[in-house]
């Protein structure tokens, strides 16, 4: 096979594409809906029967969803007349025949009930290097549990959770997990837990926890700084943020190696003043890493929602951005188009955009503690110039308040679900009933007007087994771009033209799917891979090869399953699953 080099981006190609689109239109192909920027919402399911408080996509393209077991009856029956009889259950100790967890099959758009015995309320999770979901903690009888959900193969519709009691040393309710380069989870915090531990334990008799005064010091008067924001930095240390302060922790030596300045204003940004946070996309062989923290609620907001007056204070409109690898780091403040608390931040697979989605414009996290949903997501473009980074998107009509979540799917859509600000499932007589629906938000890159630019990965197979790769290895990706195929056909047959209309700058990204709950997408990570020059496959119009080099170390990309996307300009392909170890 002969490969030809393709030159970089140029204006001629954009012009060619416009002409091509014009021709396609004249030729009777239906015009794309002119929605332009703003994205699209779609209701996938009116009710899957459980509320998506926690969500994790696995590499079988199924999303594991669960809420809490002591919410009363859900709207999804356990199969075969099965009931959960758990004497420690607080609401239905005599038996609950409904499910509190479900597995959602993305392609089939169906959910099936899963069985979970102990309480998973406000817990945390990590995908283990073997691809299974390891969920930790919860409440009541679930405080110290670890539960594993395997990746069911093929048509398997029966696999389910397995649970292990006393797997953790401390009670972990509202804790955060971060996967480490050795594949273990670092588990930090939780209510009245000023410590961290690791899971799995090297030795089952290991009951060590490491005390962490920082968590005690950063509690605000409302006692809270739950679900700390944790990101694995490129030097192997952990960036840990709570409320308005942050440190860099060498967890191997339990040493604080850097203390960051207080985030301006001092307003709290962790539960219940829940903002959100991401580690921004990493470049190939990165020498710097940046963190973005957005939204939250002013100090005192939670208290204000209680008592007779019930005041819902407007949420924070600010984001703070900081180079966590700088020797003298400083926060840079930016302002969002709207106030937001309980938002979620999801890195989009083109590596150029961050979605800020869900949540409220006032109040805080907690029962009945917000009154105005923020229906419109915002896209943040980290590489645009300051002042030109935020763009408000199309609004949904579904409130996504406390206990809502969102995850990125392999096809580039965001799966949005949950919202239950009530102490039980409550479908009536309340302003914001418990939401059992699932929606998809399709960012602008999925607009039909981008179809001709959208790369399609041909190999490795997008639907086959995950490609197995090692650190530093090269991955050859073959992909096609419809626009360039058509253009070349018009110019007199496959392979005859020298043009590459429709092919813009090609990049390859690698994304760790997140465990999302309570406004935090744990373990979320996006890396740009180093790519060699894109080469056209001779004889196959519009088909190209690009060779991508995997990250060099497990510090950059902890072992496990990632989605890899080919990105043409700003338009990502559907991803493929890759297993790195
Ligand atoms: C849930 O079930 C209740 C009781 O059967 C019913 O009234 C309600 O409409 C259902 N809600 C949803 C959102 O499916
Ligand atoms: C909120 O209320 C608690 C309990 O009444 C009180 O201890 C705390 O100081 C209050 N916090 C703020 C920020 O007002
Ligand atoms: C739902 O909320 C209303 C209003 O607070 C309350 O009266 C009702 O008891 C709640 N229902 C359940 C099932 O908790």
Q: Which-ligand-closest: CA of 98? A: 1
pLDDT of amino acid 153: 84
CA of 302 to the centre of ligand 3 (A): 21
Residue pLDDT, tens place only, 502-543: 899 999 999 999 999 999 999 999 999 999 999 999 999 999
Residue carrying the six token digits 């670092």: 186
Token pair in block for residue 478:
């073959």
Q: Exposed, middle or buried by CB within 10 Å (0-12, 13-18, 19+), for 418?
A: buried
Residue pLDDT, tens place only, 229-251: 999 999 999 999 999 999 999 99
CA of 227 to the centre of ligand 3 (A): 28
CA of 243 to the centre of ligand 3 (A): 32
CA of 272 to the centre of ligand 1 (A): 28
Question: Which residues, at least 6 apart from 288, have a Cβ–Cβ distance to it below 8 Å?
Answer: 234, 323, 325, 326
Q: Does 222 contact ligand 2 (Cβ within 6 A)?
A: yes
φ, ψ (nearest 5 deg) of residue 467: -70, 130
Q: Which-ligand-closest: CA of 426? A: 3
Q: Does 47 contact ligand 1 (Cβ within 6 A)?
A: yes
Domain ranges for the chain: 2-446, 448-580
**Residues with pLDDT less than 50, the chain:** 1-36, 492-499
CA of 510 to the centre of ligand 2 (A): 44
CA of 382 to the centre of ligand 2 (A): 37
pLDDT of amino acid 500: 54
CA of 369 to the centre of ligand 2 (A): 15
Q: Which-ligand-closest: CA of 313? A: 2
* Residue count (the chain): 581
Give the separation between CA 493 and CA 497, rounded to whole angstroms: 8
- The DSSP code sequence of 381-433 is -TTSPTTS-EEE-PPPSS---TTEEEEE-TTS-EEEEE---SSS---SSSSSP
357 beta partners: 344
Q: Does 299 contact ligand 2 (Cβ within 6 A)?
A: yes
Site to probe by mutation for ligand 1, drawn from 427, 430, 434, 439 as the one with most ligand atoms within 8 Å of Cβ, is 427
pLDDT of amino acid 39: 97
CA of 420 to the centre of ligand 1 (A): 14
| Pairing status of strand 467-469 against strand 576-580 | parallel
Instruction: Please determine whether the domains at 2-446 and 448-580 fall in the same fold group of CATH.
Output: no
Nearest atom in ligand 1 to the alpha carbon of residue 428 is 7
Nearest atom in ligand 1 to the alpha carbon of residue 433 is 13
Q: Does 148 contact ligand 1 (Cβ within 6 A)?
A: no
Q: Does 429 contact ligand 3 (Cβ within 6 A)?
A: yes
The closest alpha carbon to 180, from 217, 225, 245, 127, belongs to: 127
**CATH code of the domain made up of 448-580:** 2.60.40.10
Q: Which-ligand-closest: CA of 436? A: 1
Nearest atom in ligand 2 to the alpha carbon of residue 220 is 13
Sign of CA dihedral 45, 357, 220, 211: positive
Q: Does 438 contact ligand 1 (Cβ within 6 A)?
A: no
The closest alpha carbon to 39, from 391, 544, 539, belongs to: 391
pLDDT of amino acid 264: 84
The closest alpha carbon to 132, from 107, 114, 152, 116, belongs to: 152
CATH fold for domain 2-446: Methylamine Dehydrogenase; Chain H (2.130.10)
User: 242-274 burial by CB neighbour count: b if 16+ within 10 A, else e?
Assistant: bbbbbbbbebeeeeeebebeebebebbbbbbbb
Q: Which-ligand-closest: CA of 221? A: 2
Strand locations in 237-385 (E): 238-242, 245-250, 255-259, 276-279, 290-294, 318-323, 332-335, 344-347, 354-357, 378-380
Q: Reduced to 3 DSSP states, what percent helix, strand and coil does the chain have, rounded to the nearest 5? A: 10, 35, 55
Q: Does 171 contact ligand 3 (Cβ within 6 A)?
A: no
Give the separation between CA 171 and CA 160, rounded to whole angstroms: 24
């Amino acid at each position: 096979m002969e490969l030809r080099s393709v030159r970089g981006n140029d204006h001629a190609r954009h012009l060619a594409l416009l002409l091509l689109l014009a021709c396609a239109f004249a030729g009777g192909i239906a015009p794309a809906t002119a929605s332009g920027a703003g994205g699209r919402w779609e209701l996938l399911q009116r009710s899957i029967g459980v509320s998506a408080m926690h969500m994790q996509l696995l590499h079988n393209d199924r999303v594991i969803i669960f809420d809490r077991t002591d919410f009363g009856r859900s709207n999804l029956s356990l199969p075969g007349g099965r009931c959960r009889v758990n004497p420690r259950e607080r609401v239905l100790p005599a038996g609950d025949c409904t499910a509190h967890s479900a597995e959602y099959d993305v392609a089939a758009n169906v959910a099936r009930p899963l069985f979970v015995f102990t309480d998973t309320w406000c817990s945390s999770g990590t995908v283990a290097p073997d691809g299974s979901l390891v969920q930790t903690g919860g409440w009541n009888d679930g405080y110290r549990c670890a539960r594993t959900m395997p990746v069911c193969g093929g048509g398997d519709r029966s696999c389910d959770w397995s649970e292990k009691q006393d797997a953790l040393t401390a009670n972990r309710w509202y804790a955060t997990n971060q996967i480490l380069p050795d594949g273990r989870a670092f588990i930090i915090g939780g209510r009245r837990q000023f410590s961290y531990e690791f899971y799995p334990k090297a030795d089952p008799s290991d009951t060590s926890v490491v005390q962490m005064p920082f968590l005690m010091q950063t509690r605000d008067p409302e006692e809270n700084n739950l679900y700390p924001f944790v990101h694995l930095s490129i030097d192997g240390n952990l960036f840990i943020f709570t409320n308005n302060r942050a440190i860099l922790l060498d967890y191997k030596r339990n040493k604080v190696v850097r203390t960051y300045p207080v985030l301006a204003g001092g307003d709290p940004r962790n539960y219940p003043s829940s903002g959100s946070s991401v580690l921004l996309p990493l470049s190939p062989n990165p020498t710097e890493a940046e963190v973005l923290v957005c939204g939250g609620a002013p100090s005192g907001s939670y208290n204000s929602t209680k008592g007779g007056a019930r005041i819902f204070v407007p949420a924070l409109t600010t984001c703070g951005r900081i180079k966590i690898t700088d020797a003298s780091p400083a926060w840079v403040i930016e302002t969002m188009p709207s106030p937001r608390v309980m938002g979620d931040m999801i890195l989009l697979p083109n590596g150029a955009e961050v979605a800020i989605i869900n949540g409220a414009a006032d109040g805080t996290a907690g029962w009945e503690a917000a009154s105005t949903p923020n229906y419109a997501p915002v896209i943040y473009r980290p590489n645009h110039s300051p002042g030109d980074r935020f763009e408000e998107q199309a609004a949904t009509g579904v409130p996504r308040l406390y206990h809502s979540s969102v995850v990125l799917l392999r096809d580039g859509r965001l799966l949005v679900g949950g919202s239950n600000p009530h102490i039980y499932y409550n479908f009536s007589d309340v302003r914001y009933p418990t939401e059992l629906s699932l929606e998809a938000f399709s960012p602008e890159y999925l607009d039909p007007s981008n179809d001709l630019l959208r790369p399609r990965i041909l190999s490795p197979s997008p639907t086959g087994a995950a490609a197995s790769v090692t650190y530093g290895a090269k991955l050859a990706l073959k992909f096609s771009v419809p626009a360039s195929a058509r253009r070349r056909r018009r110019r007199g047959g496959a392979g005859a033209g020298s043009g590459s209309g429709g092919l813009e700058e090609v990049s390859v990204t690698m994304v760790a799917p997140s465990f999302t709950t309570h406004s935090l997408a744990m373990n979320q990570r996006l890396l740009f891979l180093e790519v060699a020059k894109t080469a056209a496959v001779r004889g196959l119009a519009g088909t190209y090869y690009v060779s991508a080099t995997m990250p060099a170390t497990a510090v950059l990309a902890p072992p496990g399953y990632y989605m890899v996307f080919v990105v043409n300009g700003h338009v990502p392909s559907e991803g493929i699953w890759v297993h790195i170890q």
